């Protein structure tokens, strides 16, 4: 691994300044993604700014929502009483990710910013536009079993691997950022981006901007929720595809719905049209099937991921059925 | 359970290939690889290896013993324990967070020591497998692994035991299914899983202090 300078500020402003001063600097939180990528030579920061001493771990009520500090551990968020009471979907998604040990290290901010698991991105001997712009996309004509069916471009067909982010986009979360030019907020849905012609950029975060927290507004989705993750073994594997589903039921009638998919696009994929198709419908398998068909409109497969075109609607129906029965 | 936690990520042979690229001469390396790969290899060879190494002071408490150290920032907690402190009980299986062999407790919480830089733990308390027993008296979880044959080759065992102790302490050992889920971060190539679950259930039901 390359040598790097290491600094450990205790104030957010000092951390931001330290990264802003140096084009090759990076924040490090849990390290579970960055250390992995540094060992493989995929990321080679010359300076690491350890943000673990910043006071960004709290989980607290603010107004009519919940604010979760960027350094809150994935395990702490999943176990938090307020999170489980107000946003059980988030706890389910977090517990479906990685392993207990990794969740004890991984932070909310780091989880959002984890890079794709595309094998070509990970292998520095392979072409990859995300790792090295202009070198080509190895997956396009290569092994693309894990890759996108929505929102891709001819420059990159990778998917975002985070489970937590699928729940956060469904719950209409907001990301709080702090940078050299001050503070700002971004809707979670606008945080990650599609690859377009610049797949090297995963998100709309500016260089040296620090994620300070995520806010989730109160919602009626406190009971009928489910996170359906399909993977190649029972646990400790990334999603082939996942679905976050939440229903607000009046008897058997759907008053409101939230749906998002993971493992299908360069960003967590909110299914707004399918949500609309559910409103006013009875919570029946037939209605879920119709919504799933709406959700899959526009999906397109590559050589090895055609299975996702059938897995997608099945997982959506299964998630909605389980949510309705919860 | 399948053997590889992350099937889409290439295994260690890539690491070896990179080491090879770095060690062999530039010309040889470039002659061996197809054109699109060359630019990537060049970027890799640009490492500033000669740059002066700046060590950072580090205080740690490991298994109750205090250490004042000076380490390179790129030293992982796992390498520090094994190479610098000679605590070889903690194992390196994959070095990428995919197997759990390197599991230790930091401030009482189980973590993968391979994915963390040691300097990030300044002032913290670490417990490794060597710190679990009380003198010559094995920890109840160690006893239970012996009693239930919770291993074959034993390579994953230190990580399994550190994880198992945490699993019980966290309150995640309520049923065999819950144990399986909360022990999923520890891979056993010998497949001793059912005996490991039995050992944890035994400790949990025995009600001893872990
Ligand atoms: C074997 C394995 C299996 C996994 N399985 C899953 C899975 O099934 N599902 C899943 O969702 N994830 C999975 N993960 C990924 C894991 O969830 C992420 O690695 C983790 O969430 C990253 O968080 P971190 O705090 O460790 O980030 P770090 O590695 O510290 O940082 C990641 C990136 O975010 C930046 N960063 C961190 N915090 C901030 C901040 N506050 N502001 C600005 N930038 C910041 C860093 O500069 C870095 O670029 C797995 C990981 C491994 C190793
Ligand atoms: S899909 Fe994206 S990440 Fe994967 S090789 Fe192509 S450009 Fe790189
Ligand atoms: S050595 Fe495999 S997880 Fe750390
Ligand atoms: S006992 Fe051999 S790997 Fe588990």
Q: What is the CATH number of the domain that holds B194?
A: 1.10.150.120
Q: Which domain holds residue B154?
A: 132-210
Closest Cα partner for A171 from A156, A188, A149, A193? A188
| Beta pairing class for B56-62 and B103-106 | unpaired
- Please give the pLDDT value at position B49: 39
A8: contact with B, CB 8 A cutoff: yes
In Å, what is the CA distance from B199 to each residue of A179, A233, B168, B205? 50, 23, 11, 10
- Please give the pLDDT value at position B208: 85
| Contact check, Cβ <8 Å, B184/A235 | yes
Mean pLDDT of A47-76: 98
Q: Are residues B136 and B209 in the same domain?
A: yes
Residues from chain B that touch A234, judged by Cβ atoms under 8 A, are 1, 180-181, 184
Q: Count the alpha carbons within 13 Å of A303 in the hemisphere toward its beta carbon.
A: 6
CATH classification at residue B85: 3.10.20.30
Q: Are residues B183 and B121 in the same domain?
A: no
Neighbours of A41 (CB within 10 A): 23
Q: Are residues B137 and B124 in the same domain?
A: no
Domains of chain B: total: 2
A249: contact with B, CB 8 A cutoff: no
Domains of chain A: total: 2
Residue of A nearest to B107 (CA): A104
Nearest to A105 among B49, B51, B111 (CB): B111
Residue A162 Cα to ligand 2 middle (Å): 16
Task: Single out the residue in B76, B111, B131 at which a domain terminates.
Answer: B131
Q: Are residues B90 and B62 in the same domain?
A: yes
Neighbours of B51 (CB within 10 A): 12
Residue A170 near residue A225 (C-beta atoms within 8 A)? no
Mean pLDDT of A16-44: 97
Q: What is the ipTM of this complex?
A: 0.96
The residue to mutate among B83, B94, B162, having the most atoms of ligand 3 within 8 angstroms of its beta carbon, is B94
The B residues from 2 to 61 touching A (CB cutoff 8 Å) are 2, 5-10, 14-15, 17-18, 21, 33, 36-37, 39-41, 43-44, 47-49, 51, 53-54, 56
The residue to mutate among B189, B193, B195, B197, having the most atoms of ligand 4 within 8 angstroms of its beta carbon, is B189
- Please give the pLDDT value at position B207: 86
Look up residue A221 and give its two tokens.
Answer: 């989705």
Residue B12 near residue B94 (C-beta atoms within 8 A)? yes
Residue A39 Cα to ligand 3 middle (Å): 13
CATH classification at residue A310: 3.30.390.50
- Please give the pLDDT value at position B61: 98
| Contact check, Cβ <8 Å, B184/A126 | no
Residue A288 near residue A245 (C-beta atoms within 8 A)? no
B71: contact with A, CB 8 A cutoff: no
DSSP state for residue A142 in the 8-state scheme: S
Three-state SS annotation for chain B: CCCCCCCCCCCCHHHHHHHHHHHCCHHHHHHHCCHHHHHHHHHHHCCCCCCCCCCEEEEEEECCEEEEEEECCCCEHHHHHHHHCCCCCCCCCCCCCCCCCCEEEECCEEEEHHHCEHHHHCCCEEECHHHCCECCECCHHHHHHHHCCCCCCCCCHHHHHHHHHHHHHHCCCCCHHHHHHHCCCCCCCCCCHHHHHHHHHHHHHHCCCC
Nearest residue by C-alpha to atom 8 in ligand 2: A128
| Contact check, Cβ <8 Å, A3/B163 | no
Answer yes or no: is B75 within a domain. Answer: yes
| Contact check, Cβ <8 Å, A238/B6 | yes
Mean pLDDT of A52-81: 98
Residues from chain A that touch B111, judged by Cβ atoms under 8 A, are 101, 104-105
Residue B166 Cα to ligand 3 middle (Å): 17
Answer yes or no: is A269 within a domain. Answer: yes
pTM of the model: 0.91
Q: Is the CB of A45 under 6 A from ligand 1?
A: no
Q: Is the CB of A76 under 6 A from ligand 2?
A: no
- Please give the pLDDT value at position B53: 55
Answer yes or no: is B33 within a domain. Answer: no
Q: Which atom of ligand 4 is nearest to the CA of B190?
A: 2
Q: Which domain holds residue A312?
A: 224-325
Q: Are residues B126 and B162 in the same domain?
A: no
Nearest to B18 among A2, A28, A41 (CB): A41
CATH classification at residue A24: 3.30.43.10
Strands, sheet with A25-28, edge to edge from the N-terminal-most edge strand: A5-7, A47-50, A25-28
Residues from chain A that touch B100, judged by Cβ atoms under 8 A, are 99, 101
**Residue A220 pLDDT exceeds 70:** yes
- Please give the pLDDT value at position B31: 40
Q: Are residues B139 and B121 in the same domain?
A: no
Answer yes or no: is B39 within a domain. Answer: no
Q: Are residues B137 and B93 in the same domain?
A: no
- Please give the pLDDT value at position A46: 96
A291-322: per-residue pLDDT in tens?
Answer: 999 999 999 999 999 999 999 999 999 999 99
Answer yes or no: is B12 within a domain. Answer: no
Nearest to B120 among A31, A39, A146 (CB): A31
User: How close B113 gets to chain A, by Cα (Å)?
Assistant: 9
Q: How many CB pairs (< 8 A) connect A and B?
A: 153
Neighbours of A134 (CB within 10 A): 9
Answer yes or no: is B119 within a domain. Answer: yes
Residues constituting chain B? 210
Give the sign of the dihedral formed by CA B175, CA B181, CA B185, CA B188: positive
Q: Are residues B153 and B177 in the same domain?
A: yes
Tell me how far apart the alpha carbons of residues B94 and B4 are, in angstroms, rounded to a whole number.
10
A158-202: per-residue pLDDT in tens?
Answer: 999 999 999 999 999 999 999 999 999 999 999 999 999 999 999
Per-residue tens of pLDDT for chain B, all 210 residues: 344 444 343 344 444 444 444 444 333 334 443 434 334 343 443 334 334 458 999 999 999 999 999 999 999 999 999 999 999 999 999 999 999 999 999 999 999 999 999 999 999 999 999 999 999 999 999 999 999 999 999 999 999 999 999 999 999 999 999 999 999 999 999 999 999 999 999 999 998 889
Residues from chain A that touch B103, judged by Cβ atoms under 8 A, are 101
Answer yes or no: is A311 within a domain. Answer: yes
- Please give the pLDDT value at position A34: 98
Q: Are residues B201 and B144 in the same domain?
A: yes
Answer yes or no: is A168 within a domain. Answer: no
Answer yes or no: is B168 within a domain. Answer: yes
B144: left (phi over 0), alpha (psi -120 to 50) or beta: alpha
Answer yes or no: is B26 within a domain. Answer: no
DSSP letters for A11-77: SHHHHHHHHHT-TTEEEESS-TTHHHHHHTTS---SEEEE-TTSS---EEEETTEEEEETT-BHHHH
Backbone angles phi, psi at B26, to 5 degrees: -55, -45
Residues from chain A that touch B187, judged by Cβ atoms under 8 A, are 236
Answer yes or no: is B28 within a domain. Answer: no
Answer yes or no: is A134 within a domain. Answer: no
């Amino acid at each position: 691994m390359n040598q790097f300078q290491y600094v450990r500020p205790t104030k957010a402003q000092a951390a931001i300044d330290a990264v802003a001063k140096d084009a090759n600097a990076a924040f490090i939180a849990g390290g579970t993604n960055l250390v992995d990528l540094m060992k493989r030579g995929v990321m080679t920061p010359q300076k690491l700014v350890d943000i673990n001493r910043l006071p960004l771990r709290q989980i607290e009520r603010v107004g009519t929502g919940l604010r979760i500090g960027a350094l809150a551990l994935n395990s702490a968020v999943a176990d938090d009483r307020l999170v489980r009471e107000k946003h059980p979907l988030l706890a389910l998604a977090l517990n479906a990710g990685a392993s207990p040990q990794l969740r004890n290290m991984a932070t909310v901010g780091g989880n959002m910013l984890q890079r794709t698991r595309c094998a070509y991105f990970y292998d520095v001997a392979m072409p990859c536009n995300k790792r090295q712009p202009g070198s080509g996309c190895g997956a396009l004509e290569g092994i693309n079993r894990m890759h996108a069916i929505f929102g891709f471009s001819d420059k990159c067909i990778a998917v975002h691997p985070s489970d937590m982010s699928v729940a956060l986009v469904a719950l209409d979360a907001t990301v709080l950022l702090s940078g050299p030019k001050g503070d700002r907020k971004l809707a979670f849905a606008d945080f990650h981006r599609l690859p377009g012609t610049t797949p090297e950029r995963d998100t709309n975060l500016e260089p040296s901007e620090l994620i300070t927290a995520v806010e989730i507004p109160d919602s009626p989705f406190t009971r009928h929720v489910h996170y359906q993750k399909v993977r190649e073994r029972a646990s400790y594997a990334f999603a082939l595809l996942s679905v976050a589903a939440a229903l607000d039921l009046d008897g058997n009638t759907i008053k409101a719905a939230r749906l998002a998919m993971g493992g299908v696009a360069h960003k967590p994929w909110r299914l707004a049209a399918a949500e609309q198709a559910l409103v006013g419908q009875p919570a029946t398998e037939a209605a879920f099937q119709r919504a799933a068909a709406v959700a899959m409109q526009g999906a397109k497969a590559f050589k090895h991921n055609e299975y996702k075109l059938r897995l997608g609607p099945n997982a959506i129906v299964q998630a909605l059925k389980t949510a309705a029965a919860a | 359970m399948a053997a590889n936690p992350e099937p889409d990520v290439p295994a260690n042979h890539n690491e070896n290939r990179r080491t090879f690229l770095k060690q062999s001469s530039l010309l040889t390396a470039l002659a061996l690889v197809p054109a699109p790969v060359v630019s990537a290899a060049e970027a890799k060879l640009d490492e500033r290896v000669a740059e002066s190494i700046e060590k950072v002071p580090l205080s740690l408490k490991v298994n109750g013993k205090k250490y004042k150290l000076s380490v390179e920032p790129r030293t992982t907690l796992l390498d520090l324990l094994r190479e610098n402190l000679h605590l070889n009980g903690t194992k390196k299986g994959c070095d990428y967070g995919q197997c759990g062999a390197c599991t230790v407790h930091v401030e009482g919480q189980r973590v993968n020591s391979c994915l963390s830089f040691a300097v990030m733990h300044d002032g913290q308390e670490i417990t490794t497998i060597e710190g679990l027993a009380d003198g010559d008296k094995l920890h109840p979880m160690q006893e239970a692994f012996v009693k239930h044959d919770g291993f074959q080759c034993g390579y994953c065992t230190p990580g399994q035991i550190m994880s198992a102790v945490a699993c019980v302490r966290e309150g995640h050992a309520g049923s065999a299914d819950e144990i399986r889920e909360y022990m999923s971060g520890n891979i056993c190539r010998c497949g001793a899983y059912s005996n490991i679950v039995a050992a944890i259930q035994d400790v949990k039901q025995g009600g001893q202090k872990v």
